[in-house]
Structure 1
């Protein structure tokens, strides 16, 4: 079987969020889809290890925020490569509570859908939650939704191992002059030709010359968590 065939299936980029005991949590998901229009139903697929899965399973409600193509990779990293068990993901993020109580992310969101769970399906490592849509709206009609392909090709993004579409990638050989380093936590690649301007690292800065307290701009991993690409 050729697993690369799975890469040809199209997906989007969303934040699936929920509430439990007054606490909010959310995660990046690429598997969210409308199942029927009458009644309006939507389904999401979440890893059983994720805190958001626990929240949805408990509260039986969730919201899906559709991300725009202009969403910063750091924002995606906040919801995609950090655990709500360690990080309050909604701190500093514009959001509001929906009618179900689930938080709706407003930053970088072009539309949202809010739903109440009516059924579930066990999918091994994941659970598919089927929800009846109770509210939905478009927040930015001019913006384009980010696709999973755009996230990989343009944003240079990777998939966490808990993603339903995760497929282990084969190591890619880099030119000797590249001196690129990869984050072993999220897959972000530091390219000295680009640097990390937002993190105070100018283009042309070798990885070895980066201060030891620098962290991955996507997931916040320490410099020591990087490995040189060969």
Structure 2
């Protein structure tokens, strides 16, 4: 079981929800992000945290160093950093916004994976998990967000092959549209239901991948079937 887990990119959204969930399941956590939310969440669940800009590789190296020292090992790293979703069309989408969206989604995953690999190679095991996006999200987003999440998808596939000899798994989750207030009343969700889903399905998918030593190179869509393009366009 991967028990000592570093979660990076923890904000008000899915990062916080995931941290609360994994803590309830008995995982030992270390949280990091550049915002103030990470300290509040860490205080509530009683774990360590470290504020860092995940777009800065040196700061990511420091996060990994401090997390390993605090927990004793680095069994898994889950990077949820992203954002910059919008439906802005390309003519109205500035170049600087494109770069910010691309880098905040893609570079943060690259930086955390790169910083974590030396520790995991030395241990002889580890799990790296990134956040891509389901097709129904990508196809209704903007060029920067789509490029960033698409890059995460491709890196997961490439890194999983590269790191097989070192017993390091690399997987991802691709959420559909998730509730912003993260209210989950435990009501089973019907496939194909319009609107946003609670984060519970995403949290359980991450837990499953952390516990699955023989699964690598996979990206689990958690989108209620909407990633399959429900509706053929005919009556």
TM over 0.5: no
TM-score normalised by the chain length of structure 2: 0.22
Structure (1/2) with the larger strand percentage: 1
Bigger Rg over Cα: 1
Structure (1/2) with the larger helix percentage: 2
TM-score normalised by the chain length of structure 1: 0.23
